Amino acid sequence: MGCMLSQLAAKFAFFPPSPATYRIKKGDDGGLTAVTSSSPETPIPSADDSSLDVLSIDTKRGNRIVAFYLRNPYARLTVLYSHGNATDLGQLYDLFVQLKLNLRVNVMGYDYSGYGASTGKPSESNTYADIEAVYQCLETEYGVGQEDVILYGQSVGSGPTLHLASKLPRLRGVVLHSAILSGLRVLCHVKFTFCCDIYKNINKIRKVKCPVLVIHHQRLLPSPLLVAVVG
């Protein structure tokens, strides 16, 4: 029964935009650019922006995911953004620009496997491999240490965010925006954890060592425990 519910929760967990709102083009120099799906000759951003890197990153599960890295020359910190459902990088670019400018941070956003121009199919395991690959890229390609990283997870993005946060004890911070307790808790409003539940955030939050900001129900609450806020 629990596994059947888990499969049902997984089925309703992922809604990638179809079609994707952007495409990836490879230039003569081997560099990547993003263009809008509605107008393949219109780049993202519409004006030349040397602060944007379009990346293609291989994951340990054999998928190739797309990421946008936006740099701010005055930044000391980097936000690694895991987005919510039914959206992709083409829709999020303007938000990333606002975060970069208003917070004076670098921003790394990525599309999960099966979202946007990323290959593969969306699944819980794939999202974990996705965020691990993106974080490794931040370390190796941009020299960013975990002490200078803020993980931001919205809705379903809280799953990969807490997965990574539970493994990195020296993060600068974590932001959970409309986070979920677990897949089955959202679907069935149960009060306990099935062994085959997906995104067991209620358990992983206890392993997070850094400051956590929870944004939920129009309230901003710093909290060490997700369950204390939305339980």
Contacts of 102 (CB under 8 A, 6+ apart): none
**12 or 142, greater pLDDT:** 142
On whether the 4-230 domain is CATH 3.40.50.1820, my answer is yes
* Residue 181 pLDDT level (bands cut at 50, 70, 90): confident
Statement: residue 84 has pLDDT above 80: yes
Statement: residue 195 has pLDDT above 70: no
* 95-208-139 Cα angle (round to 5): 60
Q: How far apart are CA 201 and CA 210, in angstroms?
A: 15
* Residue 12 pLDDT level (bands cut at 50, 70, 90): low
Position 138 scores a pLDDT of 98
Position 223 scores a pLDDT of 45
pTM over 0.85: yes
Maximum alpha-carbon separation in the chain: 55
Where do the H-state alpha helices sit in the chain?
A: 2-11, 89-103, 124-142, 158-165, 183-188, 201-204, 226-230
For 124, the token pair is 């819980």
| Cβ–Cβ < 8 Å for 131, 82 | yes
Domain boundaries, the chain: 4-230
- Alpha carbon 195 to chain centroid distance? 24
The bridge status of strand 43-44 relative to strand 32-36 is antiparallel
Burial class (CB in 10 A: 0-12, 13-18, 19+), 60: exposed
pLDDT digit string (tens) for 100-109?
999 999 999 9
Residue bearing tokens 């929870």: 214
